């Protein structure tokens, strides 16, 4: 059974704990006077962050857990505040006294600690990495995040679905289309409507376009982190070409606002041509880069994630597929009918994640041909019924899960679990055989989101 998410809801006198697996959803209620639940982290290691988050958000006590440190609330966050409780209204907080965070470290003769971040050397998002080092060798890494915590979950409470949309599409800029598709599915469930096939195809086209933009960027940056800059020049050129196509089709370079229920006219002939040209470029890229042995020397065997660990941490997305784990939300009849093939590798290293991305770009281009259709159907949304809704999408990083409860027409609880939230928790496993100079390369090969993780 694959573990997907665990989160809580404030239901007045009780907290409701929802645990989502691939095959079932479990609900449990605990009284607020004694809000104690038992940890799942012994069976599912990735449950740990969910539970630590619950502890910060609601003050729920996690029994039997081996790690009870705060997660979202950092050194200067006021103690004993649980902002996701319904009786928390504050819109402003004072920084409180600095309380050091107790990092997970390995000690020993000659072992030293390296702290990196939250602000890093490049143009990247903030997050903290804490290494225990024996010389160059990484003995352990603790990933510490939530610097970008904007409290999106709380922000959305009390809003209508419509009001929430512009915020949801800006949770993680690189995955905006995927978030919008999750939102769309919840909107459709709540208004009990079916999506016309033509619209579904348009949306699927845009999701694949988002994926190739993100993958192409990574295909440039990964070799660049191994010192091969020429790949970045070509990769970023192709990514820019695709981003301009996104702008042409949706009016926005990241597709913000693109997933609506109105099909637009597209010039299919020129798009087919564009897709063919793109395929030619990526085939050239693959052919060229496969021929550079000094690069593969860095990518092969680096950042190894064994299949067993990928399963143990319930990993998702490119990371899981590169370790031989066949997980992809597109594994359904709609996508299969349009040419979807699950791309995977077995070696679980940086090279595997790189190769999976190349293969996925090619497969996306193939599907995009199939998704193209000149059709101008549209859908009017009916009224939205109260209820508890869930949806999934496969973003460029991996499986995205979203849950929205609607009560009296407005959002009562919003929850989203980015693929990154799962995969950040397994990142440290990939460091075991490598030296610290490999870290940026390994990190980039996963290219996880900080914004989507922190919410």
Partner 1 sequence: MMKFWNKRIKLGVLTENLELEDEIKSIQKEIKDKVKKKFAGSLAIRMVDSGSCNACEAECNALSNPYYDLERLGIYFVASPRHADVMLLSGLMTFNMQPHVLEAYEQIPEPKWVITLGDCPVMAAPFEQTFAINAPADKHLKITHHIAGCPPSPLEIMQGLLEFLRKI
Residue numbers at the binding site for ligand SF4 (CB under 6 A)? 170, 173
Residue 253 or 432: the one with the smaller Cβ distance to ligand SF4 is 253
Q: Does 58 bind partner 1 (CB under 8 A)?
A: no
Among residues 79, 123, 333, 380, which is the contact residue for partner 1, using CB under 8 A?
A: 123
- Which of partner 1, ligand SF4, none does residue 104 bind (CB under 5 to 8 Å by kind)? none
Q: Does 203 bind partner 1 (CB under 8 A)?
A: no
Q: Does 59 bind partner 1 (CB under 8 A)?
A: no
Contact stretch for partner 1 (CB under 8 A) within 287-295, 315-323, 325-333, 381-389: 287-295
Least separation in angstroms between residue 356's CB and partner 1 is: 21
Residue 173 or 339: the one with the smaller Cβ distance to ligand SF4 is 173
- Which of ligand SF4, partner 1, none does residue 340 bind (CB under 5 to 8 Å by kind)? none
What is d(CA 123, CA 409) in angstroms, rounded to the nearest whole number?
40
Burial class (CB in 10 A: 0-12, 13-18, 19+), 203: buried
**C-beta contacts of 437-440 below 8 A and 24+ residues apart:** 437/136, 438/298, 438/302, 438/303, 439/129, 439/131, 439/138, 439/141, 440/225
Residue 135 or 166: the one with the smaller Cβ distance to ligand SF4 is 166
Residue 235 or 348: the one with the smaller Cβ distance to partner 1 is 235
Q: Does 240 bind partner 1 (CB under 8 A)?
A: yes
Contact stretch for partner 1 (CB under 8 A) within 34-42, 87-95, 108-116, 348-356: 87-95
Q: Does 114 bind partner 1 (CB under 8 A)?
A: no
Which residues lie across from 399 on neighbouring strands? 394
Query: Of 36, 39, 34, 35, which Cα lies nearest the Cα of 19?
Result: 39
- Which of ligand SF4, partner 1, none does residue 121 bind (CB under 5 to 8 Å by kind)? partner 1
9: Cβ–Cβ under 8 A, 6 or more apart, which residues?
A: 15, 16, 18, 405, 412, 413
Residue 173 or 196: the one with the smaller Cβ distance to partner 1 is 173
Q: State the binding string over 13-32 for partner 1 (x if CB under 8 A, else -).
A: --------------------
């Amino acid at each position: 059974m694959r573990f997907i998410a665990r989160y809580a809801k404030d239901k007045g006198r009780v907290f409701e704990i929802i645990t989502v697996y691939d095959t079932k959803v479990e609900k449990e209620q605990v009284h607020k006077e004694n809000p104690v639940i038992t940890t799942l982290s012994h069976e599912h290691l990735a449950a740990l962050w969910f539970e630590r988050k619950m502890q910060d958000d609601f003050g729920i006590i996690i029994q039997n857990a081996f790690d009870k440190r705060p997660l979202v609330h950092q050194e200067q966050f006021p103690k004993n505040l649980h902002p996701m409780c319904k009786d928390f209204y504050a819109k402003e907080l004072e920084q409180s006294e600095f309380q050091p965070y107790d990092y997970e470290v390995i000690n020993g003769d000659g072992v030293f600690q390296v702290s990196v971040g939250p602000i890093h050397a490049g143009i990247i998002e903030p997050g903290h990495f804490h290494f225990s080092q024996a010389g160059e060798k990484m003995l352990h890494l603790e990933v510490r995040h939530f610097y970008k915590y904007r409290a999106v979950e709380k922000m959305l409470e009390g809003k209508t679905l419509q009001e929430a949309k512009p915020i949801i599409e800006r949770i993680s800029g690189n995955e905006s289309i995927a978030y919008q598709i999750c939102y769309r599915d919840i909107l459709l469930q709540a208004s009990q409507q079916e999506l016309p096939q033509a619209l579904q195809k348009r949306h699927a086209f845009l999701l694949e376009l988002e994926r190739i933009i993100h993958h192409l960027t990574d295909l440039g940056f990964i070799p660049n982190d191994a010192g091969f800059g020429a790949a970045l020049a070509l990769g970023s050129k192709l990514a820019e070409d695709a981003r301009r196509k996104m702008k042409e089709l949706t009016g926005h370079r990241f597709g913000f606002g693109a997933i609506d229920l109105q099909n637009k006219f597209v010039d299919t002939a020129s798009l087919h041509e564009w897709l063919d040209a793109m395929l030619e470029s990526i085939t050239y890229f693959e052919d060229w880069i496969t021929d550079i042995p000094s690069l593969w020397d860095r990518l092969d065997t680096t950042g190894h994630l064994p299949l067993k660990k990928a399963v143990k941490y319930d990993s998702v997305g490119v990371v899981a597929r590169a370790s031989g784990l066949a997980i992809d939300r597109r594994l359904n009849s709609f996508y299969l009918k349009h040419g979807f093939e699950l791309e995977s590798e077995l070696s679980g290293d940086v090279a595997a994640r790189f190769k999976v991305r190349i293969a996925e770009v090619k497969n996306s281009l193939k599907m995009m041909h199939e998704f193209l259709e000149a059709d101008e159907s549209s859908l009017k949304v009916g009224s939205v019924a109260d209820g508890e809704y869930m949806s999934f999408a496969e973003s460029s990083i991996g499986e995205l899960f979203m849950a929205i409860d609607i009560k009296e027409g407005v959002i009562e609880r919003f929850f989203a679990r980015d693929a990154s939230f799962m995969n950040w928790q397994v990142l440290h496993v990939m460091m075991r055989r490598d030296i610290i100079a490999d870290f940026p390369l390994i990190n980039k090969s996963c290219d996880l989101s900080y914004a989507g993780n922190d919410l």
